[in-house]
Amino acid sequence: MVTYSAEGPQYVYLNDAALKILGRSREEVEQRPLMEMIAPESVDEVLAISRRSAGGEATPSRIEGVVQRPDGTRVPVVAVGGPLQFDGKPGSVAFFWDVSDRVGAEKARLAESQRLARVVEAAPDGIAIVRGPIILHLNSAGARLLGIDDREKAVGTSLADVMLPEEVPMMMRRMRAAAEGKHQGDQVYRVRHKDGSIVSAEVSSIPYEHEGQPALLAFVRDVTERAQLQEQMARAERLASLSTLAAGLAHEVNNPLTAAMLQVDVIEHELRSALGPTAAGGVFDRIRDLRKTQERIADVMRDFAAFARTGNDKREAVDLNLIIGAVERMLAPMLAKKGRYSSQLGVLPKIRAEASRLEQVFVNLMLNAVQALPEGRDGNEISVRGRVLGDGRVCVEIADNGVGITTENLRRVFDPFFTTKPVGVGTGLGLTVCHNIVSSYGGEIEIDSVSGHGCTMRVLLPADAPAPAVPPRTRVMIVDDEPHLASTLRLLLEARHEVVAFTCGEEAIELLLKGAPIDVVLCDLQMPILNGMELYRRVVERRPELKGRFIFMTGGAYNNNADRELAVTRGPLVEKPFDAAEVEKLIQRVGART
């Protein structure tokens, strides 16, 4: 029990428990004022309360302070009391107790909390506390993942603001389920970094109480590289299975299609010889229409064959300037109709490739750019730029300011049979074929696009030096198990070459091993009894001078082993269907080898 005055409280009575807390005997207490037993840090507050009480003002019923023992030990105490008059003086009955254990525990909890905060801050992965989609706390790693310079600015913002819109509904569903105590496994979300790039973030979360209210503690890891690798592996698996199907289909269709196309040439030649130059042109118009139909089928099958092809040995140094110039001339009417076209290539190094396949790539990419431009809009523009990169690669950029590609579709543009074009306009193989062709030459295609803001396609290819040309020769052997195709080829070639044709590989080997003077062997790769590679091996074992004299034909179905063997033979590969002019060029080139 104490009374109050301006000089401070004066004790009236202290029990033994109070003396124990003060660390003093009753005699010591009686010999000195109570204020000397108050720790310096609590003196001002105790004096203020005493003065207010002495003046008749209300004072708190509960106060916290610190008393000081003779040995200097400070003891935190809590006092609770009520007003009481002693001999007409204001005072109170106060109950106080030692709260050292509680204060120590609080200090320990504070220290542990500070250590935990340091661990969270130093963690290599992002850690966030969220309530709903709202960020309550974000560590430095999480801020770096999002490209946030000041992580404090992220507090109070919504995760929905940084996530791709299509990811938000899933995030909200999972958050609601987690808040209800339902376990949620790891989930990969795509978020947009402040530099515009897309980051794949793997998130796991657990219920967490923050400032007395339920929240979620989320652990976030950047798995962008892993996601890209998984996507590439999945695409490779899809391509592998589909290319097997495409190769088989191409082989089955191209053999009869080649024979049909060559037969049309034979029929036209014989009709012109029989009817003479003055014959009516109607029948020849029908033949021309038939040839166009065959060529449309051939174009589709070439796409399938190109899609299935894993390699190609028909490579030479080609001029990109000439290839792109030819594509520009081919597409000039379409380009002029759609908008403004500009080209700035400079002089680019040559590329070791097949010119027709690179032409196919640039035709496809430029057509995509044309089709991306809205009809009738002013300001439509396509530009082509060429340069050599610091690493020596040749870069050709095709940029348009058209409709662009959505983030979702950007991930799938190289997938086979994926297309955003209307039914009947695209097969979904164009970009896949382009990707396969460029990859086969050791290059890559990069795409930068934002929906509604145009697209830039970047073709990167290694430069190479030119290869020497070779003169033609004219003695030809044809080996193909399809009698129709073998005889048709013989008819087309025998006017310009000395030609012998076989449908049996053993008969062809027998003639060659007898020393027949053959300059070029035009041989099918896929034959049921004796395939082209086995025929080649048996012949060159006895006649090594014929090693570079083979031209191989295929309907599209050949594997990586055949691809490697072809590289050893140095023999070019012609894919069915083909025309006579294509075969003629190869015969002249291979026949001229010494």
Lowest mean pLDDT among 79-93, 102-116, 175-189, 331-345: 102-116
Domain boundary among 166, 188, 222: 222
> How much is the pLDDT for 427?
44
Q: What is the CATH number of the domain that holds 12?
A: 3.30.450.20
> How much is the pLDDT for 541?
92
Lowest mean pLDDT among 37-41, 130-134, 285-289, 399-403: 285-289
| Reported confidence tier of residue 114, pLDDT bands at 50, 70, 90 | low
In degrees to the nearest 10, what's the CA dihedral of 184, 190, 193, 198?
150
- Please give the residue that has the higher pLDDT: either 450 or 325: 325
- Alpha-carbon distance of 416 to 245, in angstroms, equals 12
**Do 456 and 508 fall into the same domain?**
no
- Alpha-carbon distance of 205 to 187, in angstroms, equals 10
**Do 48 and 74 fall into the same domain?**
yes
**Do 86 and 153 fall into the same domain?**
no
Model confidence, pTM: 0.33
Percent residues over pLDDT 70 in the chain: 81
Average pLDDT over residues 263-269: 82
Q: Per-residue pLDDT for 330 more than 50?
A: yes
In a domain, 469, yes or no: no
> How much is the pLDDT for 189?
85
> How much is the pLDDT for 477?
94
Q: What is the CATH number of the domain that holds 494?
A: 3.40.50.2300
| Reported confidence tier of residue 423, pLDDT bands at 50, 70, 90 | very low
In a domain, 230, yes or no: no
- Alpha-carbon distance of 189 to 171, in angstroms, equals 8
The mean of the pLDDT values for the chain is 79
> How much is the pLDDT for 491?
84
Question: Is the distance from CB of 546 to CB of 518 less than 8 angstroms?
Answer: yes
Percent residues over pLDDT 90 in the chain: 8
**Do 447 and 502 fall into the same domain?**
no
- Alpha-carbon distance of 143 to 156, in angstroms, equals 14
**Do 514 and 552 fall into the same domain?**
yes
Lowest mean pLDDT among 167-171, 393-397, 418-422, 465-469: 465-469
Q: Per-residue pLDDT for 238 more than 50?
A: yes
| Reported confidence tier of residue 561, pLDDT bands at 50, 70, 90 | low
**Do 499 and 381 fall into the same domain?**
no
Q: Per-residue pLDDT for 24 more than 80?
A: yes
CA-nearest of 404, 408, 409, 421 to 456 is 404
Domain boundary among 76, 104, 132: 104
In degrees to the nearest 10, what's the CA dihedral of 243, 247, 248, 253?
130
**How would you write 48-110 as a 3-class SS string?**
HHHHHHHCCCCCCCEEEEEEECCCCCEEEEEEEEEEEEECCEEEEEEEEEECHHHHHHHHHHH
User: pLDDT for 124-174, tens place per residue?
Assistant: 788 888 888 888 888 888 888 877 777 787 888 888 888 888 888 888 888
**Do 20 and 100 fall into the same domain?**
yes
> How much is the pLDDT for 43?
84
In a domain, 189, yes or no: yes
**Do 82 and 140 fall into the same domain?**
no
| Reported confidence tier of residue 312, pLDDT bands at 50, 70, 90 | very low
Q: What is the CATH number of the domain that holds 351?
A: 3.30.565.10
Lowest mean pLDDT among 186-190, 207-211, 304-308, 357-361: 304-308
**Do 320 and 453 fall into the same domain?**
yes
In a domain, 83, yes or no: yes
Residue with tokens 């490739």: 353
In a domain, 98, yes or no: yes
Residue 551 token pair: 């031209």
CA-nearest of 195, 159, 2 to 92 is 2
Q: State the pairing for strand pair 2-3/89-98.
A: antiparallel
Average pLDDT over residues 336-340: 83
CA-nearest of 157, 104, 114, 151 to 132 is 157
User: pLDDT for 429-477, tens place per residue?
Assistant: 567 778 878 888 888 888 888 777 788 889 999 987 544 443 445 789 9
> How much is the pLDDT for 468?
42
> How much is the pLDDT for 54?
79
* DSSP letter for each residue of 358-394: HHHHHHHHHHHHHHTSPTT-TT-EEEEEEEE-TTSEE
- The boundaries of the domain holding residue 439 are 316-462
Q: Per-residue pLDDT for 535 more than 50?
A: yes
